[in-house]
């Protein structure tokens, strides 16, 4: 299904749901029944064929046509039975019992009774900053459900008891009442179809090919038709949490999760990995995380994180609404809350310290190879910095920018303004030096900051999107010592629009042109390559990776890249999400499109066209 068709179907479903919710749910149930009808029909057809063909063969009417027919019928029967009995992997994490954490289970039981929800069959603790209730089919498409709560240890560290209970009530709210049971049934059905699609992807027999063809047609339409239901269910779960704990508590929990989640991603993990410079042996992060998450985030960071979160809008890539929409539906106000004073770790009782130690040890074991790679790379950075610092008197602008960039790798708080100013003395309009100087001025004197962004805009097309976006962000941020400059904001918004159109054309060119046309070997320096290899080493699913340069007609001088990754043992949906994550987190000096080895391009095509791998995991 084309993306435009998917969007159209989602919009039609949203309108149908808003116009007549009951009729919309009946249509969803009917479309879900179509999938069951396909499986049951295939099962009946296969059974009838086997019942007719076996006697024919047993009575001596042996023909190759009958034999092949029996093989096909048995394959169809097997595919149908697999569809009816899809198996799911157990959740990751540590199983927690009521004897180990009685306070947690008592709280869950109180929530269950108040919202009249089904029982939780198992509770797991993992190392993610998240909580979720996962309802999986007990007997595949035949029905039944197993309810599993997975609770992230960092989330317990970040929130107080009441706010954590609001999160748990939201998750439990997905299972409540008739509407919740219907939405949960649709969710289980979606999981079953997705798992079935993954299980038959590599099968070559005729029955699996027929099942794949049906699923390729059915599943995108099923996902589009049920999107509005899933989005409504998120709002309803929020309202249940608001009614049980109070809208102010539910709203504060949403905002605190957003801000502290951003802090973990942007600050904590980078700082933790930088400690690899001091030791080749990894250090567990969770003891330190516990101390940091118990403290209030820096006021400036919290305000900016909240502003960015509120600027995001609900979209079709996620059934979860945006923070702004969720807070609005609760009738709350999206402002920075009073931060949690005590963590909810007490819900784990006396076992909390043991589990922190367990996850620290497990993290060190899982990240040992990536840590060693990063330690080695940081050592090379330090050596390179010594060389650059010794030659600073003769360094050109690009070398000074490189020195500043490497210093930021070791210390994000380092004062780099003198290095960028020195670079601009040697090359007055050096774009990377102007961009670096602008970063050091952000949040300070607005006039100077905008003057540097203007110079960067004038320096060339490659940096205009970044310059315009930064200027608009600055001018849209209220400051008590500055009057609102409507004319400047209008100018930079117009520039941002033009620059964004150019970026979109460049991205379309990167995404839509044949993968192996207009490519050359990557142009990374040894230090740039080392950083990317260290980052890939920390991404455990990646077995191998290739990187090539892509020449863009829109920006001929821009460094743009295609990365190909081999991700064995993952579902396509998870591969897609990981590739999008890598696009935002790989430290490359230009935009990158990340693709996984699959149907297009295949692993063999990548090996032939993408030169040699830049990264191979140990044992790959």
Which range of 58-67, 71-80, 133-142, 369-378 scores highest in mean pLDDT? It is: 369-378
**Stretch 578-592: mean pLDDT, rounded?**
91
pLDDT at 184: 63
Cα 541 to the center of its chain, rounded Å? 14
Torsion of CA 162, 168, 169, 171, to 10 degrees: 150
Which range of 2-16, 36-50, 352-366, 519-533 scores highest in mean pLDDT? It is: 352-366
More confident residue, 141 or 325: 325
**Stretch 122-142: mean pLDDT, rounded?**
79
Q: How far apart are alpha carbons 529 and 523 in whole angstroms?
A: 9
DSSP codes, 369-400 = HHHHHHHHHHHHHHHHHHHHHHTGGG--HHHH
Buried b (16+ CB within 10 A) or exposed e, 428-440: eebbbbbbbbbbb
Q: How far apart are alpha carbons 253 and 166 in whole angstroms?
A: 7
pLDDT at 511: 87
- Bridge partners for 147 per DSSP: 135
Answer whether residue 202 shows pLDDT above 70: no
- Bridge partners for 615 per DSSP: 545
Residues 594-610: tens digit of each pLDDT: 999 886 788 899 999 99
Could you count the other beta carbons within 10 Å of the beta carbon of residue 149? Answer: 21
In terms of Cβ atoms closer than 10 Å to its own Cβ (0-12, 13-18, 19+), residue 2 is exposed
pLDDT at 408: 92
pLDDT at 41: 81
Answer whether residue 168 shows pLDDT above 80: yes
Answer whether residue 49 shows pLDDT above 90: no
- Bridge partners for 296 per DSSP: none
Mean pLDDT of the chain: 86
Percent of the chain with pLDDT over 90: 49
Three-state SS annotation for 574-607? HHHHHHHHHHHHCCCCCCEEEEECCCCCCHHHHH
pLDDT at 200: 58
Query: At CB < 8 A and 24+ separation, what contacts does 104-109 make?
Result: 104/151, 104/347, 104/348, 104/349, 107/165, 107/168, 107/347, 108/149, 108/168, 108/172
- Kindly list the domain boundaries of the chain, sorted by start residue: 375-435, 442-504, 519-616
Answer whether residue 507 shows pLDDT above 60: yes
Answer whether residue 404 shows pLDDT above 70: yes
Q: How far apart are alpha carbons 582 and 588 in whole angstroms?
A: 11
Answer whether residue 516 shows pLDDT above 80: yes
pLDDT grade, residue 369 (50/70/90)?
confident
pLDDT at 224: 84
- Bridge partners for 96 per DSSP: 123
**Stretch 110-124: mean pLDDT, rounded?**
89
Which range of 21-25, 142-146, 243-247 scores highest in mean pLDDT? It is: 243-247
Answer whether residue 365 shows pLDDT above 60: yes
Three-state SS annotation for 134-168? EEEECCHHHCCEEEEEEEEHHHHHHCCHHHHHHHH
Collect all residues with Cβ–Cβ distance below 8 Å to 200 and sequence separation of at least 6.
Answer: 79, 82, 208, 211, 212, 215
Is the CB of residue 235 less than 8 Å from the CB of residue 323? no
Is the CB of residue 530 less than 8 Å from the CB of residue 380? yes
17-21, 34-38, 88-92, 580-584: lowest mean pLDDT where?
88-92
Model confidence, pTM: 0.80
Answer whether residue 177 shows pLDDT above 60: no
pLDDT at 422: 96
In terms of Cβ atoms closer than 10 Å to its own Cβ (0-12, 13-18, 19+), residue 507 is middle
Residues 455-485: tens digit of each pLDDT: 999 998 999 999 999 999 899 887 777 777 8
Answer whether residue 515 shows pLDDT above 90: no
The DSSP 8-state label assigned to residue 567 in this structure reads -
How many helices (H) and strands (E) would you count in the chain? 24, 9
Residues 549-569: tens digit of each pLDDT: 999 999 988 899 999 999 988
**Stretch 517-531: mean pLDDT, rounded?**
88
Three-state SS annotation for 201-270? CCCCCHHHHHHHHHHHHHHHHHHHHHHHHHHHHHHHHHHHHHHHHCHHHHHHHHHHHHHHHHHHHHHHHH
Collect all residues with Cβ–Cβ distance below 8 Å to 568 and sequence separation of at least 6.
Answer: 543
Is the CB of residue 173 less than 8 Å from the CB of residue 235? no
pLDDT at 86: 59
332-346, 498-512, 523-537: lowest mean pLDDT where?
523-537
Answer whether residue 435 shows pLDDT above 60: yes
**Fold adopted by 519-616:** Alpha-Beta Plaits (3.30.70)
pLDDT at 191: 63
DSSP codes, 339-356 = PPSS-GGGGGGGGHHHHH
pLDDT at 188: 63
Q: Which helix (H) or strand (E) holds 565?
A: strand 561-566
pLDDT at 483: 76
**Stretch 235-249: mean pLDDT, rounded?**
92
Answer whether residue 24 shows pLDDT above 70: yes
Q: How many residues are recorded in the chain?
A: 620
pLDDT grade, residue 133 (50/70/90)?
confident
pLDDT at 464: 95
Answer whether residue 176 shows pLDDT above 60: yes
Collect all residues with Cβ–Cβ distance below 8 Å to 123 and sequence separation of at least 6.
Answer: 95, 96, 97, 101, 104, 105, 108, 148, 149, 150, 151
Is the CB of residue 347 less than 8 Å from the CB of residue 103? yes
């Amino acid at each position: 299904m084309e993306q435009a068709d998917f969007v159209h179907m989602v919009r039609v479903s949203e309108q149908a749901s808003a116009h007549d919710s009951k009729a919309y749910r009946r249509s969803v149930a009917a479309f879900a029944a179509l999938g069951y009808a396909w499986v049951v029909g295939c099962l009946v057809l296969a059974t009838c064929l086997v019942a007719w063909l076996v006697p024919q063969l047993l009575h001596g009417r042996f023909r190759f046509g009958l034999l092949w027919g029996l093989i096909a019928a048995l394959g169809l029967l097997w595919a149908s039975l697999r569809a009816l009995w899809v198996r799911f992997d157990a959740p990751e994490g540590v199983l927690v019992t009521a004897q180990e954490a009685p306070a947690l289970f008592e709280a869950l039981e109180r929530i269950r009774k108040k919202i009249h929800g089904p029982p939780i069959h198992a509770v797991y603790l993992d190392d993610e900053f998240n909580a979720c209730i996962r309802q999986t089919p007990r007997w595949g498409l035949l029905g039944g459900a197993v309810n599993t709560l997975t609770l992230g240890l960092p989330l317990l560290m970040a929130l107080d008891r009441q706010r954590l209970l609001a999160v748990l009530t939201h998750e439990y709210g997905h299972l409540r009442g008739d509407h919740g049971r219907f939405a949960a049934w649709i969710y289980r059905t979606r999981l079953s179809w997705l798992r079935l699609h993954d299980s038959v992807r590599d099968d070559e027999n005729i029955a699996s090919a027929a099942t794949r063809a049906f699923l390729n047609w059915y599943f995108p339409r099923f996902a589009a038709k049920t999107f509005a239901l899933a989005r409504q269910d998120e709002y309803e779960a929020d309202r249940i949490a608001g009614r049980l704990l109070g809208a102010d508590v539910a709203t504060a929990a949403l905002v605190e999760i957003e801000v502290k989640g951003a802090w973990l991603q942007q600050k904590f993990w980078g700082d933790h990995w930088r400690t690899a410079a001091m030791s080749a042996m990894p250090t567990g992060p969770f003891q330190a995380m516990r101390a940091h998450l118990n403290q209030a985030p820096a006021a400036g960071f919290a305000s900016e994180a909240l502003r960015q979160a509120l600027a995001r809008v609900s979209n079709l890539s996620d059934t979860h609404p945006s923070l702004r929409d969720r807070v609005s539906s609760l009738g709350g106000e999206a402002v920075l809350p009073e931060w949690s004073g005590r963590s909810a770790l007490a819900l784990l009782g006396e076992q909390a310290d043991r589990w922190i130690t367990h996850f620290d040890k497990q993290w060190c074991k899982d990240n040992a190879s990536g840590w060693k790679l990063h330690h080695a790379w940081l050592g090379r950075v330090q050596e390179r910095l010594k060389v650059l610092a010794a030659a600073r008197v003769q360094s050109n602008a690009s070398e000074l920018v490189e020195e500043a960039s490497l210093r930021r790798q070791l210390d994000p708080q380092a004062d780099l303004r003198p290095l960028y100013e020195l670079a601009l003395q040697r090359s007055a309009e050096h774009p990377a030096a102007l961009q670096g100087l602008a970063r050091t001025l952000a949040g300070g004197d607005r006039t100077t900051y905008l003057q540097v962004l203007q110079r960067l805009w004038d320096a060339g097309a490659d940096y205009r999107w970044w310059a315009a976006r930064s200027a608009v962000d600055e001018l849209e941020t209220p400051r008590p010592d500055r009057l609102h400059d409507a004319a400047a904001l209008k100018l930079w918004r117009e520039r941002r629009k033009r620059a964004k159109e150019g970026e979109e054309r460049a991205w379309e060119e990167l995404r839509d042109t044949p993968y192996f046309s207009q490519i050359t070997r990557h142009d990374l320096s040894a230090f740039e390559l080392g950083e990317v290899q260290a980052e890939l080493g920390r991404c455990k699913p990646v077995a191998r990776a290739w990187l090539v340069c892509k020449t863009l007609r829109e920006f001929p001088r821009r460094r743009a890249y295609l990365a190909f990754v081999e991700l064995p043992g993952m579902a396509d949906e998870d591969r897609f999400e990981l590739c999008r994550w890598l696009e935002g987190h790989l430290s490359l000096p230009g935009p990158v499109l990340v693709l996984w080895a699959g149907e297009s391009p295949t692993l063999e095509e990548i090996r032939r066209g993408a030169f040699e791998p830049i990264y191979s995991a140990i044992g790959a």
